[in-house]
Amino acid sequence: MLIQNKIKTLKFLRYFMVILFIIFANIILVRISGFDKNQSKKIELLTEQNKIYKKLSKPKYLKTKEIEEYNKILNITQDQYNEIKDDKIEQNLYWWILVITSIIIWKLNGAILKKIDKTNLKETSPK
């Protein structure tokens, strides 16, 4: 009975460690891939667009300098938008890779645990 409890706790610890490994690997890959930077680009783009809409909602009669400024801001935000659109494909690919690697790690862990269980049963079974 004591041996079975130890086996159960070891099993739980192994699953727990694999889950932690998957979580930390995903966090590291997110940092490496620059996914956070892309999110900040989206936030910057939204703030720029909000500024433009606020300015455009003011009086309709604008000076030529203001019109040039609006055009510059619009061009910058359009470039940022195009960058984000291109990065979206890479992000989708990145997330699929994460899912597949997580499944592979989980399956390998299950196979290893089954092998360990078989060896533990052979060792603990009376001969």
pLDDT (tens digit, 9 = 90+) per residue, 22-66?
777 777 776 666 665 666 666 666 677 667 666 665 555 556 666
Total number of domains in the chain: 1
Residue 7 and residue 49 in contact, taking contact as beta carbons nearer than 8 Å: no
Range of the domain at 102: 2-124
pLDDT of 56: 63
Neighbours of 79 (CB within 10 A): 11
Backbone angles phi, psi at 61, to 5 degrees: -90, 110
- 39, 45, 49, 78, 81 from 85: Cα distances, Å: 12, 12, 16, 10, 6
CA 100 – CA 122 distance, rounded (Å): 33
pLDDT in tens, 65-122: 666 676 676 666 666 666 666 666 666 777 777 778 778 877 777 777 777 767 766 6
